Amino acid sequence: MFDLAMFMQNCEMRLIHPLTIISIYYCLFFIIPNVNASTRPAIINVGAAFNFNSTIGDVATIAIQAGIDDVNADPTILRGSKLVINMQDTKCNGFIGMIGALKLMGKHIVAVVGPQCSIIANIISHIAKELKVPLLSFAATDPTFSSLQYPYFIRTTLSDVFQMQAVSDFVHHYKWRQVIAIFMDDEYGRNGVIALADKLEERQCKISFKAALPLDANQTDIASLLVGVGQMETRVIVLHANQITGVTILTVAQSLGMMQKGYVWIATDWLASKLDSRGPLAPQVMQAIQGVVFLRQHIEESAKKTQFVSRWSKLVKKQTKEKLQLNSYGLYAYDSVWVLARALDEYLNDGGNISFSSDPNLQASDGRSGHLNLKAMAIFNGGEILLEKIKNISTNGVTGLIQFDQDGNRIHPAYDIVNVIDSELKIVGYWSNYLGLSVNPPEKLYSKPSNYSSTSQQLGDVVWPGRYKMNPRGWIFAKNGKELRLVVPNRFSFKEFVSKNMETGEIEGYCIDVFTAAIKLLNYPVPYKFISYGDGRSNPNYGDLVQKVSSNEFYGAVGDIAIVTNRALFVDFTLPFIESGLVVVAPVKKYNSNAWSFTKPFTNNLWFATVSSFLLTGIVMWILERRDNQCFRSSGSLKEQIVTILSFGFLTAFFAHEESMKTTLGKILLLIWLFVVLIIQASYTASLTSILTLQQLSTPIRGVESLRSTSYPIGYQVGSFAESYMVEELQIPRSRLKALGSPEEYAKALELGPDNGGVAAVVDERPYVELFLSTNCQFTIVGSEFTKESWGFAFPKDSPFTIDMSTAILKLSENGELQRIHDKWVTNKMCSPTEEKLEYERLHLSSFWGLFLISAVASVLAILVYLSITFYQYVHEEHRNRTIKNFLSYINNIKITKTNPTRSQCQRSNSSISSFDT
């Protein structure tokens, strides 16, 4: 680095003439910068690779040349260097494109504007990576290109991953669940449809059919494919093609009647480039595309864009006499030239130079180029630095802000959603990855918080094919709308749910009424036909019935079909129209109350222990309180003393004793006893309530767990999934299961019991059990419901009809119609409640012996302590004649000499109660 201070010091020491110093200053500050500027190359070769003979190529030719001319005419950029463009026609052909790329690389170019086609981009990217030449593609939208695989590929347009996200959001907005994708069988088509499938899956939608067309498809091929598409249910078609084939597809579709009411055609941005450049098209073509919705890259209105658009007609006249309008790809091509120019300017400003070196990988072992003349191709030494300059660019062009994210994609990708109405192209909305669908341009919304919720998505009114203004359903029934063949079980038992009337031949029942009521709520007619399944002498197997739907033998199944896992794997179910679940039914017997029912809660032993405890407590209390408590002396007669003992002991059962305790021992013992009384009283009340209100089971079955632990036979309904559930989930041996075909067989088997050839219990679904119990009061549900299932109608996998029927069932539930149908067929006249039944059992002494033990021990300890204290007092007061008789007489003496209290005086007031009971 040049040190100016040191240079001046040396000049002064050597006494250099001042004019010499001035000359040196002039060289440093004026001549040397000009020398650096003069090292910039006068010419910088850049390449352009695209298909000249195409709509995009025609526009790109003019736009790229305009960009080159504008850059070379601007003195503020490149400053002395001129861009020279070398255009190569790739014809969107892999082989020709590769040869063209090799020719370009042999001209020592620093970058390539292009390629246009994704197939060419795939090939050229490998060459660009080897020779370190950046590619600025303005039209290759293949979403699979990544910066890791193709580091020198830079997309200055929008990736199809965003376009397919826009299509997915559009489909989801109209609540369509399936689409058909028609595409060209090349990298552009296949990879675009793969991206569409991924985005639809995020929205819980799917591509029901992928229709690929060869690149050389003719009208016969297209017609053959569209005939097959027209026979499918889905009516939402996404067309991802090129300009020539895409228009042909739409024209053939119109001739086949596929541009009529009910169809939805969504075209990707190929149609936008066609209409923007060549439109309006021929009248027959415009007629064919009426109602089509297509996407177009959204480009913000700006002064630069307006200025360039105003120049366009003059630019076209300079190069061609053909009428050619500007499309979005032309704007991206123009901006690509400017991005490259600005990056080159920064590169040269930072001291970069345009130099090339030979590629050792292209040399043979003898130092020659081999049979191919590859020595002309060389590595651009500054390619890696230039690539980083391009990736870090931030400038405003005719397409708006040009800036790339970490994945190499343009920031703020957005699309216009355009509807073809007559000869007009009407924008019905916009899509951006910031806010999704909106009726306002995205640039006006970037300042607002991002809100991608479904409620915020908005679009204008669309006129669909056939000039249909209502939103299409998006599907029809297969086989051109023929009536649906719906299989219905012909039940032998519980015919209230579904059965065939033998007199009229009509299918009727609760499930049928629900189905027909739901059908009436649909906003389109549905022709259908019920087909009975089963001989009517036994219930059919419901697993076989569902299997026939999954194999497309029937379009759907209507009836009391439980929604279980092994069935949901093969068919789709509607929302449930009734809750269900497996329960256990067992015989019961009611307890017949009588005049002595109040004695039933306790066993005889418990009654004896309770009465004995009352007496014992009363006696102990009498002993403890006799000397100190006037109320326990009464008048002193034996009869009155016995009455006092009995009344005190038994009145404590109701906490109604009148005497208050005076001694400490009495208070402690009473506290313990009242706790015992509280527990006994509460247990007695609960047990008596159970005896008088609940039923008693006549078997030891309490629920499913106790049923599993026994070896008793178990009944189940013929055709029900209960059999497989008990075998597979509960691990109950199949030998224990007994098939029962009717409510009468239920009752008979339960009455016989397990010891007489019957069953201990029946396991069935709750709706059947409730109907059975309405007329069989001697049985009841034991335990709780141990599974949670529901009933629904079954249709083939991914059938859109399932969603519409589910919505209709939900409406029936909300407006109360579902409950009215239930009340009509399934009566609620239960002779006994179906909640869990408890068994009545008497209380035994074993449950309370701990309490009685505590009370007895407390009483004994209180007596011992009382006698010890009294004996101690007796010894100190009586110094002679110490005999047992005198000691007993001493105990019987009253310490308080007041007059005996009356009964009202012994009755506790609030103040006396507070002495202990509080």
Alpha helices in 46-112 (DSSP H): 55-73, 94-105
**At 789, phi and psi to the nearest 5?**
-125, 175
Q: CB of 430 within 8 A of CB of 442?
A: yes
Is the pLDDT reported for residue 523 higher than 80?
yes
pLDDT, position 524: 83
Q: Judge if pTM exceeds 0.85.
A: no
**Mean pLDDT across the stretch 787-807?**
91
Question: Which residue in this structure is represented by tokens 């097959």?
Answer: 228
CB contact burial 841-877 (16+ within 10 A = b; e otherwise): eebebeebeebbeebbebbeebbeebeeeeeeebeee
pLDDT, position 268: 97
Confidence tier at 672 by pLDDT (50, 70, 90): confident
Confidence tier at 619 by pLDDT (50, 70, 90): confident
Percent of the chain predicted with pLDDT > 90: 55
pLDDT, position 898: 45
Closest-CA residue to 672 (of 910, 861, 908, 864): 861
Percent of the chain predicted with pLDDT > 70: 82
pLDDT, position 842: 67
Q: CB of 583 within 8 A of CB of 786?
A: yes
**Mean pLDDT across the stretch 757-762?**
93
Alpha helices in 392-468 (DSSP H): none
CA–CA gap between residue 597 and residue 467 (Å, rounded): 82
pLDDT, position 912: 38
**What confidence tens digit (pLDDT) does each residue in 354-367 have?**
999 988 877 654 44
pLDDT, position 320: 83
pLDDT, position 916: 37
Residue 471, exposed/middle/buried by CB under 10 A (0-12, 13-18, 19+)? Answer: middle
Q: CB of 181 within 8 A of CB of 240?
A: yes
Q: CB of 97 within 8 A of CB of 52?
A: no
What are 587's two structure tokens?
Answer: 């015989």
Average predicted confidence (pLDDT) for the chain: 84
CA–CA gap between residue 555 and residue 233 (Å, rounded): 12
**Mean pLDDT across the stretch 225-253?**
94
CA–CA gap between residue 102 and residue 79 (Å, rounded): 30
pLDDT, position 918: 32
Is the pLDDT reported for residue 790 higher than 90?
yes
Q: CB of 10 within 8 A of CB of 2?
A: no
Greater pLDDT, 31 or 626: 626
Confidence tier at 336 by pLDDT (50, 70, 90): very high
Confidence tier at 727 by pLDDT (50, 70, 90): very high
In angstroms, what CA-CA distances link 248 with 117, 327, 422?
A: 20, 21, 18
**Mean pLDDT across the stretch 767-786?**
89
CA–CA gap between residue 253 and residue 267 (Å, rounded): 13
CA pseudo-torsion sign 779, 780, 782, 788: positive
Confidence tier at 45 by pLDDT (50, 70, 90): very high
**What confidence tens digit (pLDDT) does each residue in 375-428 have?**
678 999 999 999 999 999 999 999 999 999 988 999 999 999 999 998 899 999
| Count of other CB atoms within 10 angstroms of residue 653 | 15
pLDDT, position 715: 95
**What confidence tens digit (pLDDT) does each residue in 734-756 have?**
999 999 999 999 999 999 999 89
Is the pLDDT reported for residue 22 higher than 60?
no
Number of H helices, E strands in the chain: 32, 32
**What confidence tens digit (pLDDT) does each residue in 158-186 have?**
999 999 999 999 999 999 999 999 999 99
Greater pLDDT, 641 or 780: 780
